Chains A and B, each alone.
Chain A
Amino acid sequence: MKGMTVVVKKTTQLIAGLVFLYGIYIIIHGHLTPGGGFAGGVILAGSFILLILAYGSDFLHLVREEAGTTLYENLAILVVLVLALSGLLLGTHVFFLNWAPKGVAGELISAGLLPLYNIFIGIEVAASILSIFLALVIFKEEITK
Protein backbone atom coordinates (compact mmCIF):
# COMPACT_ATOMS: atom_id res chain seq x y z
CA MET A 1 0.00 0.00 0.00
CA LYS A 2 1.38 3.39 -1.01
CA GLY A 3 1.50 6.42 1.21
CA MET A 4 -0.12 9.79 0.48
CA THR A 5 1.23 13.30 -0.25
CA VAL A 6 3.44 15.26 2.11
CA VAL A 7 0.53 17.51 3.17
CA VAL A 8 -1.46 14.53 4.38
CA LYS A 9 1.61 13.04 6.06
CA LYS A 10 2.41 16.21 7.98
CA THR A 11 -1.21 16.76 9.08
CA THR A 12 -1.50 13.16 10.23
CA GLN A 13 1.73 13.51 12.16
CA LEU A 14 0.26 16.44 14.05
CA ILE A 15 -3.17 14.93 14.61
CA ALA A 16 -2.53 11.23 15.28
CA GLY A 17 -0.99 11.76 18.70
CA LEU A 18 -3.88 13.94 19.83
CA VAL A 19 -6.40 11.41 18.57
CA PHE A 20 -4.58 8.67 20.48
CA LEU A 21 -4.58 10.69 23.71
CA TYR A 22 -8.25 11.53 23.26
CA GLY A 23 -9.03 7.83 22.92
CA ILE A 24 -7.18 7.10 26.16
CA TYR A 25 -9.08 9.92 27.86
CA ILE A 26 -12.42 8.49 26.72
CA ILE A 27 -11.46 5.02 27.93
CA ILE A 28 -10.26 5.95 31.41
CA HIS A 29 -13.23 8.25 32.02
CA GLY A 30 -15.61 5.54 30.81
CA HIS A 31 -17.34 5.16 34.16
CA LEU A 32 -17.82 8.92 34.59
CA THR A 33 -18.77 10.35 31.21
CA PRO A 34 -20.42 9.11 28.03
CA GLY A 35 -18.20 6.81 26.02
CA GLY A 36 -16.12 4.07 27.52
CA GLY A 37 -14.25 1.06 26.28
CA PHE A 38 -15.90 0.69 22.91
CA ALA A 39 -15.98 4.35 21.87
CA GLY A 40 -12.46 4.98 23.12
CA GLY A 41 -11.15 1.82 21.50
CA VAL A 42 -12.55 2.88 18.14
CA ILE A 43 -10.80 6.25 18.49
CA LEU A 44 -7.52 4.52 19.40
CA ALA A 45 -7.79 2.29 16.35
CA GLY A 46 -8.61 5.39 14.31
CA SER A 47 -5.28 7.01 15.16
CA PHE A 48 -3.39 3.90 13.98
CA ILE A 49 -5.49 3.64 10.83
CA LEU A 50 -4.77 7.31 10.04
CA LEU A 51 -1.05 6.66 10.24
CA ILE A 52 -1.21 3.50 8.12
CA LEU A 53 -3.31 5.24 5.47
CA ALA A 54 -1.09 8.32 5.32
CA TYR A 55 2.31 6.65 5.38
CA GLY A 56 1.46 3.35 3.67
CA SER A 57 3.02 0.04 4.50
CA ASP A 58 4.39 -2.92 2.60
CA PHE A 59 2.49 -6.17 2.39
CA LEU A 60 4.68 -8.35 4.64
CA HIS A 61 4.70 -5.71 7.30
CA LEU A 62 0.90 -5.58 7.23
CA VAL A 63 0.67 -9.35 7.67
CA ARG A 64 2.99 -9.21 10.66
CA GLU A 65 1.00 -6.36 12.19
CA GLU A 66 -2.22 -8.30 11.74
CA ALA A 67 -0.83 -11.30 13.63
CA GLY A 68 0.18 -8.96 16.44
CA THR A 69 -3.19 -7.23 16.72
CA THR A 70 -5.01 -10.57 16.77
CA LEU A 71 -2.82 -11.69 19.65
CA TYR A 72 -3.46 -8.48 21.63
CA GLU A 73 -7.17 -8.73 20.92
CA ASN A 74 -7.38 -12.23 22.33
CA LEU A 75 -5.21 -11.43 25.33
CA ALA A 76 -7.31 -8.38 26.21
CA ILE A 77 -10.63 -10.20 25.95
CA LEU A 78 -9.21 -13.06 27.98
CA VAL A 79 -8.31 -10.60 30.74
CA VAL A 80 -11.89 -9.26 30.65
CA LEU A 81 -13.18 -12.81 31.02
CA VAL A 82 -10.77 -13.46 33.91
CA LEU A 83 -12.00 -10.27 35.60
CA ALA A 84 -15.57 -11.51 35.17
CA LEU A 85 -14.66 -14.93 36.51
CA SER A 86 -12.81 -13.37 39.45
CA GLY A 87 -16.25 -12.43 40.75
CA LEU A 88 -17.01 -16.14 40.88
CA LEU A 89 -14.02 -16.75 43.15
CA LEU A 90 -14.08 -13.65 45.34
CA GLY A 91 -16.79 -11.80 47.23
CA THR A 92 -20.15 -13.50 47.23
CA HIS A 93 -19.20 -15.85 44.39
CA VAL A 94 -21.24 -14.39 41.55
CA PHE A 95 -20.21 -14.21 37.89
CA PHE A 96 -19.46 -10.60 36.85
CA LEU A 97 -19.58 -9.45 40.48
CA ASN A 98 -18.12 -6.01 41.05
CA TRP A 99 -16.28 -7.01 44.21
CA ALA A 100 -13.70 -4.22 44.41
CA PRO A 101 -14.33 -1.21 46.72
CA LYS A 102 -16.51 1.36 44.98
CA GLY A 103 -14.86 4.56 46.22
CA VAL A 104 -16.49 7.99 45.95
CA ALA A 105 -18.82 8.53 43.01
CA GLY A 106 -17.44 10.99 40.47
CA GLU A 107 -13.74 10.39 41.19
CA LEU A 108 -11.41 8.93 38.61
CA ILE A 109 -10.53 5.87 40.70
CA SER A 110 -13.92 4.60 41.76
CA ALA A 111 -16.69 2.20 40.69
CA GLY A 112 -14.74 -0.92 41.59
CA LEU A 113 -13.82 -3.04 38.59
CA LEU A 114 -15.54 -0.90 35.95
CA PRO A 115 -12.45 1.13 34.97
CA LEU A 116 -10.50 -2.09 34.54
CA TYR A 117 -13.21 -3.56 32.32
CA ASN A 118 -13.20 -0.33 30.32
CA ILE A 119 -9.45 -0.33 29.85
CA PHE A 120 -9.25 -3.91 28.66
CA ILE A 121 -12.33 -3.59 26.46
CA GLY A 122 -10.71 -0.49 25.00
CA ILE A 123 -7.56 -2.45 24.13
CA GLU A 124 -9.69 -5.28 22.76
CA VAL A 125 -11.79 -3.01 20.54
CA ALA A 126 -8.78 -1.06 19.29
CA ALA A 127 -6.93 -4.26 18.44
CA SER A 128 -9.92 -5.92 16.80
CA ILE A 129 -10.87 -2.92 14.66
CA LEU A 130 -7.26 -2.57 13.62
CA SER A 131 -7.12 -6.23 12.69
CA ILE A 132 -10.36 -5.96 10.69
CA PHE A 133 -8.87 -3.00 8.84
CA LEU A 134 -5.58 -4.80 8.26
CA ALA A 135 -7.32 -7.98 7.13
CA LEU A 136 -9.36 -6.07 4.56
CA VAL A 137 -6.25 -4.23 3.33
CA ILE A 138 -4.40 -7.54 3.07
CA PHE A 139 -7.26 -9.03 1.03
CA LYS A 140 -7.17 -6.03 -1.28
CA GLU A 141 -3.40 -6.25 -1.71
CA GLU A 142 -3.73 -9.95 -2.53
CA ILE A 143 -6.20 -9.13 -5.31
CA THR A 144 -4.10 -6.36 -6.85
CA LYS A 145 -0.95 -8.47 -6.78
Chain B
Amino acid sequence: MTVYWLCFILFLTGLYGVITRRNLVKIAISLSIMEFSIFLLLALVGYADGAVAPIVDPADPFKVYVDPLPQAMVLTAIVIGLATTAMLMAVIIRLYRKYGTFDIREIKNLRG
Protein backbone atom coordinates (compact mmCIF):
# COMPACT_ATOMS: atom_id res chain seq x y z
CA MET B 1 0.00 0.00 0.00
CA THR B 2 2.92 2.33 0.77
CA VAL B 3 3.93 2.57 -2.89
CA TYR B 4 0.49 3.82 -3.86
CA TRP B 5 0.69 6.51 -1.21
CA LEU B 6 4.16 7.43 -2.46
CA CYS B 7 2.66 7.91 -5.94
CA PHE B 8 0.05 10.18 -4.48
CA ILE B 9 2.69 12.15 -2.57
CA LEU B 10 4.68 12.52 -5.80
CA PHE B 11 1.53 13.83 -7.47
CA LEU B 12 1.05 16.36 -4.69
CA THR B 13 4.73 17.36 -4.94
CA GLY B 14 4.18 18.16 -8.60
CA LEU B 15 1.01 20.08 -7.83
CA TYR B 16 2.86 22.04 -5.11
CA GLY B 17 5.54 22.89 -7.65
CA VAL B 18 3.02 24.05 -10.23
CA ILE B 19 1.38 26.31 -7.66
CA THR B 20 4.41 27.79 -5.92
CA ARG B 21 7.24 27.97 -8.47
CA ARG B 22 7.84 31.28 -10.23
CA ASN B 23 10.05 29.99 -13.02
CA LEU B 24 8.30 28.89 -16.21
CA VAL B 25 10.67 25.99 -16.79
CA LYS B 26 10.24 24.79 -13.21
CA ILE B 27 6.47 24.83 -13.70
CA ALA B 28 6.91 22.65 -16.77
CA ILE B 29 9.11 20.27 -14.77
CA SER B 30 6.52 20.12 -11.97
CA LEU B 31 3.86 19.22 -14.53
CA SER B 32 6.07 16.39 -15.73
CA ILE B 33 6.48 15.17 -12.16
CA MET B 34 2.68 15.05 -11.76
CA GLU B 35 2.41 13.20 -15.02
CA PHE B 36 4.96 10.57 -14.12
CA SER B 37 3.43 9.96 -10.69
CA ILE B 38 0.29 8.89 -12.55
CA PHE B 39 2.28 6.68 -14.89
CA LEU B 40 3.82 4.99 -11.86
CA LEU B 41 0.39 4.48 -10.36
CA LEU B 42 -0.94 2.98 -13.60
CA ALA B 43 2.04 0.63 -13.85
CA LEU B 44 1.46 -0.42 -10.24
CA VAL B 45 -2.21 -1.04 -10.93
CA GLY B 46 -1.26 -3.69 -13.47
CA TYR B 47 1.36 -5.31 -11.23
CA ALA B 48 0.85 -8.77 -9.84
CA ASP B 49 3.20 -10.63 -7.50
CA GLY B 50 5.39 -13.17 -9.25
CA ALA B 51 3.95 -12.47 -12.67
CA VAL B 52 5.96 -12.27 -15.88
CA ALA B 53 5.94 -9.83 -18.77
CA PRO B 54 2.74 -10.16 -20.82
CA ILE B 55 4.19 -11.97 -23.82
CA VAL B 56 2.51 -15.30 -24.39
CA ASP B 57 4.96 -18.15 -24.17
CA PRO B 58 3.67 -20.90 -26.51
CA ALA B 59 5.33 -23.59 -24.37
CA ASP B 60 3.52 -22.64 -21.18
CA PRO B 61 0.52 -20.38 -21.87
CA PHE B 62 -0.92 -20.55 -18.35
CA LYS B 63 1.72 -18.53 -16.52
CA VAL B 64 0.66 -15.56 -14.43
CA TYR B 65 1.12 -12.44 -16.53
CA VAL B 66 0.99 -8.84 -15.37
CA ASP B 67 -1.95 -6.86 -16.75
CA PRO B 68 -0.82 -5.46 -20.13
CA LEU B 69 -3.60 -2.88 -20.47
CA PRO B 70 -2.19 -0.34 -17.95
CA GLN B 71 1.15 -0.65 -19.72
CA ALA B 72 -0.48 0.21 -23.02
CA MET B 73 -2.22 3.10 -21.30
CA VAL B 74 1.06 4.35 -19.85
CA LEU B 75 2.75 4.17 -23.26
CA THR B 76 -0.07 6.12 -24.88
CA ALA B 77 -0.06 8.65 -22.05
CA ILE B 78 3.73 9.02 -22.38
CA VAL B 79 3.30 9.88 -26.05
CA ILE B 80 0.66 12.44 -25.15
CA GLY B 81 2.84 13.77 -22.35
CA LEU B 82 5.71 14.15 -24.80
CA ALA B 83 3.52 16.25 -27.08
CA THR B 84 2.28 18.42 -24.19
CA THR B 85 5.75 18.97 -22.80
CA ALA B 86 7.20 19.80 -26.22
CA MET B 87 4.38 22.27 -26.83
CA LEU B 88 4.88 23.83 -23.38
CA MET B 89 8.64 24.18 -23.88
CA ALA B 90 8.09 25.79 -27.28
CA VAL B 91 5.74 28.31 -25.69
CA ILE B 92 8.23 28.96 -22.88
CA ILE B 93 11.04 29.65 -25.36
CA ARG B 94 8.77 32.02 -27.28
CA LEU B 95 7.76 33.74 -24.04
CA TYR B 96 11.41 34.14 -23.13
CA ARG B 97 12.05 35.76 -26.48
CA LYS B 98 9.20 38.24 -26.01
CA TYR B 99 9.74 39.11 -22.35
CA GLY B 100 13.40 38.28 -21.81
CA THR B 101 12.62 36.53 -18.53
CA PHE B 102 11.42 33.22 -17.13
CA ASP B 103 9.82 34.87 -14.10
CA ILE B 104 6.06 34.43 -14.11
CA ARG B 105 5.56 37.56 -11.99
CA GLU B 106 6.81 39.74 -14.81
CA ILE B 107 4.54 38.13 -17.40
CA LYS B 108 1.17 39.64 -16.62
CA ASN B 109 -0.31 41.46 -19.56
CA LEU B 110 -3.72 39.90 -19.19
CA ARG B 111 -5.74 41.14 -16.27
CA GLY B 112 -9.36 41.43 -15.19
- A–B in direct contact per CB < 8 Å: yes
Q: Which residues of A contact B (CB under 8 A)?
A: 32-34, 38, 105-106, 125, 129, 132, 135-136, 139-140, 142-143
* Chain B 61-77 residues near chain A, CB threshold 8 A: 75
A-B contact pairs, 17 of them (CB 8 A): A32-B55, A33-B55, A34-B53, A38-B75, A38-B78, A38-B79, A105-B58, A106-B58, A125-B79, A132-B82, A132-B86, A136-B89, A136-B93, A139-B94, A139-B97, A140-B93, A143-B97
How far does the Cβ of B97 sit from chain A's closest Cβ, in whole Å?
5
In whole Å, how far is A134's beta carbon from the nearest beta carbon of chain B? Answer: 11
Residues of B within 8 A of A33 (CB): 55
- Is there contact, CB below 8 Å, between A143 and B55? no
Does the CB pair A105–B56 fall under 8 Å? yes
- Name which residue of chain B comes closest to A33, CB basis: B55
Given contacts A38-B78, A139-B90, A139-B93, 6 further A-B contacts (CB under 8 A): A38-B75, A105-B56, A105-B58, A125-B79, A129-B82, A142-B97
Contacts of A105 in B (CB 8 A): 56, 58
Q: Are B55 and A34 in contact (CB under 8 A)?
A: yes
B96 on interface, CB distance cutoff 8 Å: yes
The B interface, classified by DSSP as helix, strand, loop or mixed, is helix
Known: A34-B55, A106-B58. A135 touches B96 (CB 8 A): no
A143 and B56 contacting across the interface, CB-CB below 8 Å? no
B2, chain A: closest CB distance, angstroms: 27
1/0 contact trace for B13-27 toward A, CB 8 Å?
000000000000000
The 6 closest A-B pairs by CB, nearest first: A139-B93, A132-B86, A143-B97, A106-B58, A38-B75, A38-B79
Per the bound structure, the CA–CA distance linking A74 and B55 in Å amounts to: 31
Bound CA–CA A142/B97 (angstroms): 9
State the Cβ distance, A112 to closest chain B Cβ, in Å.
16
Name the residue on B nearest A143 (C-beta). B97
Contacts of B93 in A (CB 8 A): 136, 139-140, 143
With A34-B53, A38-B75, A38-B79 known as contacts, the answer to whether A135 contacts B58 (CB < 8 A) is no
Q: Are A143 and B58 in contact (CB under 8 A)?
A: no
Most B CB atoms within 10 A — which of A33, A125, A139, A142? A139
